[in-house]
Structure 1
Amino acid sequence: MSAETSKSAVLLLAHGTPDMLGEMAEYLGKVTGGRAMPQEVVDELQHRYAQIGLKNTPGEEAPPLTKWTMIQGYLLEQALGTGKVYVGMRNWHPYIADVVAQMRADGVTHIKAVCLAPQNSRTSVGLYRKAVLEAATGIEVEFVAGWAESPLLADAFAEKLWPVWAEACAEAGQRVPVLFTAHSVPCRTIMTGEASVAGARPGTPVQDTPDPYPVEAKRTAQMVGERMAAVGFHEKDWYFAFQSQGISGGPWIGPTVEDTLKAIKAEGHIGVVMQPVGFLCDHVEILYDIDIAFRHTATELGLKLWRAESLNDSAVLVEALVDVITGEYKATVDEVMIPA
């Protein structure tokens, strides 16, 4: 396709979240690929979402994940200045398929798709890839599979971490450790073989290398810690854990936050700062899991818990996304594909 006839656009991809409590069962069905969740799981998730403000009726404002993702798309569009930036969700409105259909109607012939999950898991990120390719028949797709080592991403997290770490150390009267986190995934998804096929075309050979997700998540944390060295932060000042293990059964990767908080207490600390480096904005895994559940656990252990502010509308995050899209930062990118 010639440069004269092609029209490129950016598609940001996110998980999606329900708009009302009554949509929880339908939403969870999207997350699980149609597998019904036990009613107690639906009830528990409704409880958690209610704790962060979701109602049984449409609210005046979108849920945090939707709101902040749309804002990030708008800010990126302004920063690029080259046309519309589209936002598609895998598990709720606006669905990826519907957004790609709109892109086709708008004349887009080349999509650069970027997951707002910087660390690449062939299963979770692979599901985004699959959704895009299924919808984008006849459109060129350049899929960014991972950007965990973006220097500007690490800068954005460090910018949010420094003030709260300084505050925590001053208030505690001693050095306070930082606990970096990323979302846990089922153990089967990082094993060789099964984890390699999500989103692959029929006939694609199964890869025999481990899924990169755990390594990339810890690498992002390490890079944030390295940036904090300028203010006296040491390698021994941070820990890493995987949070928000599923409640529907099956083994998930760890260590868990709960076990890590116990270890931090056992080492004699009186407080901890948490920063989730696998999430780019506020949503239930931050506003409930950290701010409510983990804070309660910490209190029971005799620890005070502080949390770094989420990136949300961070200008440095937007710069990081610009670098990923323009190629200034060499992200992990699939070759350009034209789905049949």
Structure 2
Amino acid sequence: MLNMGGPSDLEEVHPFLRNLFLDRDLMRLPLQPILAPLIARRRSPSIVEQYAKIGGGSPILKHTIAQGEMMCKLLDEMRPESAPHKAYPAFRYARPLVRPVMQRLKEDGVKRAIAFSQYPQYSCSTTGSSLNEVFRSCGIDRDAGDVDWSVVDRWGTHPGLVEAFAQLIQTTLNEHWPDPVERQSAVILFSAHSLPMKVVNRGDPYVAEVAGSVSAVMQRLGVMAANGEGSASVTELNAAHSGSNTTSPTASKNPIPGPNPYRLVWQSQVGPQPWMGPQTGDCIKGLAKLGYKNAVLVPIAFTSDHIETLYECDVEYGHVAKEAGINMARVPALNEHPVFVRALADIVAHHLDAGERVSTQMMLRCPGCVNETCGKQKEWFSRGGRSATV
């Protein structure tokens, strides 16, 4: 289960940032081995403060472990012929790092593995970087032994993912705005981590894929409204969570009137270079100037709570909304939502049934690609992790 990870405590903040700024799949800096630790040290104090305000560390490992255990329990029931299934969280910048996890695969005698990106929408900066690290760990150094590899690289419009987001959005709307008129006036802001425009302009598919997720969720909300489908309360979601075979929580009788106005916005811009916009904070201020009073913030590109949701969305944007006079509610992250976990299991089961090593879309490099490792990595995975030319 590939993801960027996050520091589990305050002492891990600096190593996390150092690993991030050293990643040449993510960014190219002059004298990067020298500059990266210096930049990480300079930024660490402010980031430590942010993590301190959300409990002292990122909960992403806790959620990933729980998601993996629940997913594998479902997979053992759905696909006994490939059981037992085991999930290995493998993070790019924090423990458990990819390379030690690859060594664990070897020690555990694993012969069949799926590199399952936990980023629903593909970007060379996220999924691509993680896959490159798996390739460097196994394709070049062969740390993981003789493993038959395949990849799940993107799943931003999977029906289960869409359903989970739609249910959480509808629940949030119903609970925060009991009055139908106010509820209908709330603007849905789908917020995703931004990308530098130089990455977008070389052909990275992330922006288009996030937009596809947003479109699919809004279509589902429209169908739910047309059919008079209600949304589950928090209590009902928790009750549904207790049943491993539950695919949909019990519906309440408080449906929203219809699809709300919405926008796709972008967060987490760093540095002076141009990034994909509009920025989330600027949009909240802009809505207030246009006379809107209610907004719903949806972390559409995040599957677990971490600093981008718990600090950036809740603290920073919560303050911006309060200052602007906007009544804003943040939709919970997917975390261990039962519909979402079922989606993870469905994705893996379908992948195994299809016998596909890589997707057609994964094999297409960005037209402006400047990273030769990407091409080698894709070829390596397409051969099941064998006979890579390095």
Distance in 1, matches of 2:100 and 2:384, equals: 20
Helix, strand or coil at the partner of 2:177: helix
CA contact (8 A) 1:168 1:273 kept: no
Report the equivalent of 1:181. Answer: 191
Helix, strand or coil at the partner of 1:146: coil
Report the equivalent of 2:167. Answer: 159
Amino acid in structure 2 at the alignment position of 1:337: G
Report the equivalent of 1:28. Answer: 17
Report the equivalent of 1:47. Answer: 49
Helix, strand or coil at the partner of 1:32: helix
CA contact (8 A) 2:193 2:266 kept: yes
Distance in 2, matches of 1:172 and 1:51, equals: 35
Give per-residue Cα distances to partners, 1:176-214, cap 9 Å, x unaligned: 11111111122222222xxxxxxxxxxxxxxxxx21100
Structure with more of its chain in helix, by fraction: 2
| TM-score, structure 2 as length reference | 0.73
Give how far 1:38 is off.
5.7
Distance in 2, matches of 1:262 and 1:233, equals: 26
Report the equivalent of 1:128. Answer: 130
Helix, strand or coil at the partner of 1:180: strand
Report the equivalent of 1:202. Answer: none
Give per-residue Cα distances to partners, 1:95-130, cap 9 Å, x unaligned: 111111111222222221111110001232111111
- Which of 310, 318, 324 is the equivalent residue of 1:295? 318
Distance in 2, matches of 1:171 and 1:295, equals: 22
Give per-residue Cα distances to partners, 1:213-256, cap 9 Å, x unaligned: 0011111111111111122565661111011112x443321110
Distance in 1, matches of 2:175 and 2:315, equals: 20
Helix, strand or coil at the partner of 1:86: coil
CA contact (8 A) 1:15 1:89 kept: yes
CA contact (8 A) 2:91 2:98 kept: yes
- Which of 77, 95, 98 is the equivalent residue of 2:100? 98
CA separation of 1:111 and 1:294: change in aligned 2, threshold 3 A = same
- Which of 203, 217, 222 is the equivalent residue of 1:224? 217
Give per-residue Cα distances to partners, 1:254-290, cap 9 Å, x unaligned: 1100121122223321111111110011111000001
Distance in 2, matches of 1:23 and 1:72, equals: 23
Distance in 2, matches of 1:322 and 1:301, equals: 42
**5+ unaligned residues in a row in structure 2: which ranges?**
23-32, 77-82, 226-255, 363-381
Give how far 1:327 is off.
2.1
Amino acid in structure 1 at the alignment position of 2:135: L
Distance in 2, matches of 1:163 and 1:114, equals: 29
**1:212 aligns to 2:205 (yes or no):** yes
Matches within 5 A, 1:105-124: 105-124=107-126
Amino acid in structure 2 at the alignment position of 1:217: V
Report the equivalent of 1:7. Answer: none
- Which of 261, 284, 291 is the equivalent residue of 1:261? 284
**1:149 aligns to 2:157 (yes or no):** yes
CA contact (8 A) 1:112 1:141 kept: yes
Helix, strand or coil at the partner of 1:295: helix
Between 162-171 and 63-72, the greater mean CA deviation after superposition:
162-171
Give how far 1:28 is off.
0.4
> Identity percentage over the alignment?
27
CA contact (8 A) 2:122 2:206 kept: yes
Report the equivalent of 2:251. Answer: none
Report the equivalent of 1:191. Answer: 201
Give how far 1:167 is off.
2.6
Helix, strand or coil at the partner of 2:90: strand
CA contact (8 A) 2:14 2:40 kept: no
C-alpha RMSD of the superposition = 2.2
CA contact (8 A) 1:17 1:27 kept: yes
Report the equivalent of 2:5. Answer: 16
Query: Aligned pair count?
Result: 304
| TM-score, structure 1 as length reference | 0.83
Give how far 1:40 is off.
4.4
Report the equivalent of 1:69. Answer: 64
Give how far 1:172 is off.
8.6
CA contact (8 A) 1:225 1:234 kept: no
